[in-house]
Amino acid sequence: MAETRTIVIDPVTRIEGHSKITLHLDEHGKVADARFHVTQFRGFEKFCEGRPFTEMPSLMARICGICPVSHLIASAKACDALLAVKIPPAAEKLRRLFGNAQVVQSHALSLFHLSSPDLLLGMDADPAESHLFGVYARNPALARDGIALRKFGQQIIERLGGKRIHPAWVVPGGVSEPLSQEDRDAILKTVPEARAIAARSLDWLRSATERFHEEISVFGNFPSLFMGLVKKDGELTFYDGHLRLADENGQEIAGGLDPARYFEYLGEKVEPWSYLKSAYYLPNGYPSGIYRVGPLARLNVCTTCGTPLADKALADFRALQPGAVLSSFYYHQARLVETLYCVERIEQLLNDPEILTKHVRALANVNALEGVGVAEAPRGTLFHHYRINEQGLIQWVNLIIATGQNNLAMNRSVLEVAQHYVQGEKITRGMLNRVEAVIRAYDPCLSCSTHALGQMALKVQLVSPDGLVVDEICRR
Amino acid sequence: MSATGAVRTLKIDGRDCSARPQATILEVARENKIFIPRLCQLEGLSTVGACRLCLVEVKGSNKLLPACTTTVDEGMEITTSSEELASYRRMIVELLFTEGNHICSVCVSNGHCELQTMAQRLGVTHIHLPYRYPKKQVDASHERFVLDHNRCVLCTRCVRVCDEIEGAHTWDLMGRGIDSKVITDLNQPWGSSESCTSCGKCVQVCPTGALFEKGRSVAEMEKRRQFLPYLTLMRGERT
């Protein structure tokens, strides 16, 4: 019998959702394969059938407590398509503002609350101290900055939508309430601090990253495609635009793609060992059509950010590597560049007098039976696709979430890290931490991507060729 | 003054109250600003005593009586709130929640729903019974309105307002027990009803999000019922 083993990491911690990792070892004790299993299931696509489409934005927002705004926006855009209306310009600007605030708070959560313990305390730190309180003990200013940045985004969401989590403010045809001058002024006052935090966090991250040369070289450092929405001129955008795919050299391989026709160039594959589907670029086939989405991908495909500070930060980012920036370790830095961009955009939008216009909603009946809404969520491109009957009741739903699109890349990254760090049959703490950390770099949201319920945890199993679990670590 | 025209005197929760003959306990309580919960009763419509939330204790009676349909008697002593009543009322509301699919967070009436408000007021924090999760339909065939059976508590306000105020009698009930449901005409899609005048009164009197205006998103359906007493008054003067 061939001597092979499997290592299982179950559950994976400090991520959003429930998963486990298995590492399959060959007879020489080398990692032959790695699988990132998402073990939760929810079924949003199914239970929405029969509901009036006007409920969809709020229903869809319930997929996630961290990025409900992204689901609201993508869903409302799909509903706009069902109404076949062009929403009022002020409504569009308010939605952009809302979306930018959401990116700031979500990126702050990912970087500071979930990943900063790895970056500040190191990959070999004791898990008992690897959390935000551990960060606070070592560097209180950093922890405070992270919390303040998230608060900045959350409070904008609350001012616009009435509450921080699951606001119902984004509706088919626009938004339900205009922005008051008082709220506009109050938000504007908080912008300078957020901008300063984003800028100094970027400086901190750049210096903190210096000691992670080894990790950078193996944390998902491989050629792949990158995909994201860009404006006509190639500028970064989170709300609308065309899809652009770039290769590992940063060269555009497909541009000007209509996001509403996603099914013509994106496929989804189901693997029996995970509830999370894997998306791929159809022309290249499966699994060669591997592509990445999210902050790293967006900065690799866009031409410019379009705001002064973010463009400067983008230039520094681009200098990391010729061509596209390949290491998924740099998702963290890309996240902060985008945060800076969003804070600047928020200020620009608030200073636009049109943002206070009272006409914020287009009213219409059902005018189309199929609608697609696409937006950039913090973790990547988000697709909502609905079909309804003449009465406006949902008949069919398809959702493609960022984490599903990063699934192939996450699996490959775990393999890369495991091959580098796993030696023999014993699971070491450093290896466990690094396998988790590479998953965390993608900031996966498993609740979103399986449209499922779950809890955060990590379990790793080492399995022999004959299926025996030879070692196991469980962390809750 | 004749005996039938004499003022009745009674006690509600220990307070001396006076009432017109034929007045119901609920009316007298309301005049005296004493709260008695109810979901099916609505001022301006006839009473049916369907929801049983307004049950009160009457001294000398060995059973609880619905305040909305029980007329006052001379010397009555009524208790509107007690631990036992509170527990029965919470149970009734819990049963309503388990019987349908009431998902407040994604309901058009979230924040403006009488069932939701009642649950909060009565201190219903958990549902102690298993949910039934019935499979119920949504009728969106009407041009302007939608009927969602998932949220219907069978109060029959729609049936009564349509019959008594609009005079169309489009709505009615069919089935028995757990299978009961409101129907339009002879159980045909609302949009194909020939008797419906599309006046929308049923939508406005519905206590939950079971009847709502098409196009409304979550938490956007606020009911307007101010018209009802005036319509009742006008109708009373006409007959």
B53/B35 same-domain check: yes
Task: Return the residue in A54, A171, A390 with the most chain B beta carbons within 10 A, the one to mutate for interface testing.
Answer: A54
Which H or E run includes B196? none
Stated length of chain A: 476
Q: Two tokens at A359?
A: 């006409």
B contact residues 178-217, partner A, Cβ 8 Å cutoff: 191, 214-217
Q: Point out which residues pair with A37 in neighbouring strands.
A: A20
3-state secondary structure chain A: CCCCEEEEEEEECCCECEEEEEEEECCCCCEEEEEEEECCCCCHHHHCCCCEHHHHHHHHHCCCCCCHHHHHHHHHHHHHHHHCCCCCHHHHHHHHHHHHHHHHHHHHHHHHHHHHHHHHHCCCCCCCCCCHHHHHHHCHHHHHHHHHHHHHHHHHHHHHHCCCCCCCCEECCEECCCCCHHHHHHHHHHHHHHHHHHHHHHHHHHHHHHHHHHHHHHCCCCCCEEEEEECCCCEECCCCCEEEEECCCCCEEEEEECHHHHHHCEEEECCCCCCCCEEEEHHHCCCCCCEECCHHHHHHHCCECCCHHHHHHHHHHHCCCCCCCCCHHHHHHHHHHHHHHHHHHHHHHHCCHHHHCCCCECCCCCCCCEEEEEEEECCEEEEEEEEECCCCEEEEEEEECHHHHCHHHHHHHHHHHHHHHCCCCCCCHHHHHHHHHHHHHCCCEHHHHCCCCCCCEEEEEEEECCCCEEEEEEEC
- B47 & B98 share domain: no
A-chain residues near B104 (CB < 8 A) = none
Pairing assessment for the beta strands A266-269 and A278-281 based on DSSP bridges: antiparallel
Q: Residue A392 and residue B214: Cβ atoms within 8 Å?
A: yes
> Is B217–A172 a contact, with Cβ atoms under 8 angstroms apart?
yes
Residue ending a domain, choose from B16, B51, B81: B81
- Closest Cβ opposite residue B105 in set A52, A166, A171: A166
* pLDDT (0 to 100) of residue B140: 97
* Per-residue burial over A80-99, b = 16 or more CB atoms within 10 Å of its CB, e = otherwise: bbbbebebbebbbbbbbbbb
Helix (H) or strand (E) holding B209: none
Closest chain A C-alpha to B169 CA, distance in angstroms:
24
Choosing from B23, B52, B81, the residue where a domain stops is B81
Residue B233 domain-assigned?
no
Q: In angstroms, what separates the C-alpha of B142 from chain A's closest C-alpha?
A: 8
Are A55 and B146 in contact (CB < 8 Å)? no
The string of pLDDT tens digits covering residues B176-219 is 999 999 999 999 999 999 999 999 999 999 999 999 999 999 99
Residues in chain A whose beta carbon is closer than 8 A to a beta carbon of chain B?
A: 50-52, 54-55, 57-59, 62, 166, 168, 171-172, 176, 363, 365, 391-393
Examine the pLDDT at B4 and tell me if it is beyond 70.
Answer: no
Query: Mutate which of B218, B221, B222 to test chain A, going by most A C-beta atoms within 10 A?
Result: B218
Out of B141, B191, B217, the one facing A55 most closely (by C-beta) is B217
pLDDT at A460: 65
CB-based contacts of A132, cutoff 8 Å, min separation 6:
A112, A113, A116, A117, A143, A146
**Structural domain total, chain B:** 2
> pLDDT class for B2, splitting at 50, 70, 90?
very low
Q: In terms of domains, do B93 and B70 share one?
A: no
Work out the end-to-end distance of chain A between its first and last CA atoms, rounded to an integer number of angstroms.
35
How far apart are the C-alpha atoms of A401 and A64, rounded to whole Å?
11
Is A56:A78 a contact under the CB 8 Å cutoff?
yes
Q: Are residues B21 and B57 in the same domain?
A: yes
Closest chain A residue to B145, measured at CA: A391
Rounded Cα–Cα distance for residues B183 and B175 (Å): 10
Q: Tell me whether residue B197 is in a domain.
A: yes
Look up residue B26 and give its two tokens: 């609920």
Residue of A nearest to B139 (CA): A391
Q: What are the chain A neighbours of B110 within 8 Å (beta carbons)?
A: 168
Q: A363 and B215 in contact by Cβ < 8 A? A: yes
Residue B138 structural domain: 88-225
What's the pLDDT band for B168 if we cut at 50, 70, 90?
very high
Nearest CA in chain B to A392: B140
Furthest CA-CA distance within chain B: 58
Do B41 and B73 fall into the same domain? yes
Contact A191, A351 (CB under 8 A): no
Q: Is B24 helix (H, G, I), strand (E, B) or coil?
A: strand
CB neighbours of residue A189 within 10 Å: 8
Q: Are residues B37 and B149 in the same domain?
A: no
CA dist A269 and A279 (Å) reads 6
Q: Decide which of B81, B110, B142 is a domain's last residue.
A: B81
B215 found inside a domain: yes
Q: Which residue has the higher pLDDT, A425 or B222?
A: B222
CA–CA dist A14, A19 (Å, integer): 11
Name the token pair of B72: 């006052």
- B64/B145 same-domain check: no
Which residues of A fall within a CB distance of 8 Å from B215? 54, 172, 363, 365
Q: Helix (H, G, I), strand (E, B), or coil: what is residue B204? A: helix
Indicate whether B77 and B95 sit together in one domain: no
Cβ–Cβ contact B94 with A under 8 A: no
Specify the CATH class of A86-221+328-358 in words. Answer: mainly alpha
Which tops the pLDDT comparison, A418 or B235?
A418
Which helix (H) or strand (E) element contains residue B5?
Answer: none
Q: Which residues contact A432 (CB under 8 A, 6 or more apart)?
A: A9, A458, A460, A473, A475
Q: Residue B147 forms beta bridges with which residues?
A: B139, B211
How many other C-beta atoms lie within 10 A of the C-beta of residue A370? 14
Say yes or no: B48 and B154 in one domain.
no
Nearest CA in chain A to B146: A52
B48 and B134 part of one domain: no
What is the percent of chain B with per-residue pLDDT over 90, rounded to a whole number? 90
- Please check whether residue B230 lies inside any domain of the structure: no
Could you tell me how many CB contacts below 8 A there are between chain A and chain B? 50
Q: Is B119 helix (H, G, I), strand (E, B) or coil?
A: helix
Domain membership of residue B130 (yes or no) is yes
* B220/A171 Cβ within 8 A: yes
Contact with chain A for residue B221, Cβ under 8 A? no
Nearest to A231, CA basis, from A198, A254, A255, A263: A255
Based on the domain organization, do B56 and B171 belong to the same domain? no
Give the minimum alpha-carbon distance from B111 to chain A in angstroms, rounded to a whole number: 12
Contact with chain A for residue B219, Cβ under 8 A = yes
In a domain, B111, yes or no: yes
B238 domain-assigned: no
Task: For residue A364, give the chain B residue with the closest CA.
Answer: B215
Type of residue at B139: D
ipTM of the complex: 0.90
Q: Are residues B170 and B209 in the same domain?
A: yes
- B95 exposure class (CB count in 10 Å sphere: 0-12, 13-18, 19+): middle
- Does residue A178 have a cis bond before it (omega within 30 degrees)? no
- Contacts of residue A176 in chain B, CB cutoff 8 Å? 217, 220
Looking at residue B97, which CATH number applies to its domain?
3.30.70.20
- pTM here is 0.91
Per-residue pLDDT of chain A (476 residues; tens, 9 = 90+): 456 777 777 777 777 777 788 888 888 878 888 888 877 677 888 989 999 999 999 999 998 888 999 999 999 999 999 999 999 999 999 999 999 999 999 999 999 999 999 999 999 888 888 888 999 999 999 999 999 999 999 999 999 999 899 999 999 999 999 999 999 999 999 999 999 999 999 999 999 999 999 999 999 999 999 999 999 999 999 999 999 999 999 999 999 999 999 999 999 998 888 888 899 999 999 999 999 999 999 999 999 999 999 999 999 999 999 999 999 999 999 999 999 999 999 999 999 999 999 999 999 999 999 999 999 999 999 999 999 999 999 999 999 999 889 999 999 999 999 889 877 667 788 888 898 899 899 998 775 655 433 333 456 666 667 667 767 766 54
Which are the contacts of A400, defined by CB distance < 8 A and separation ≥ 6?
A: A262, A266, A268, A279, A381, A382, A383, A385
What single string gives the DSSP state of each residue in B50-115? -S-TTEEEETT-SS-EETTTPBP-TT-EEE---HHHHHHHHHHHHHHHHHTT--GGG-TTTTS-HH
Per the CB < 8 A criterion, the answer to whether A107 and A379 are in contact is no
**Residue pair B25/B56 in contact by the 8 Å Cβ criterion:** yes
Helix (H, G, I), strand (E, B) or coil at B216: coil
Domain boundaries, chain A: 5-41+412-475, 86-221+328-358
B-chain CB neighbours of A91 within 8 Å are none
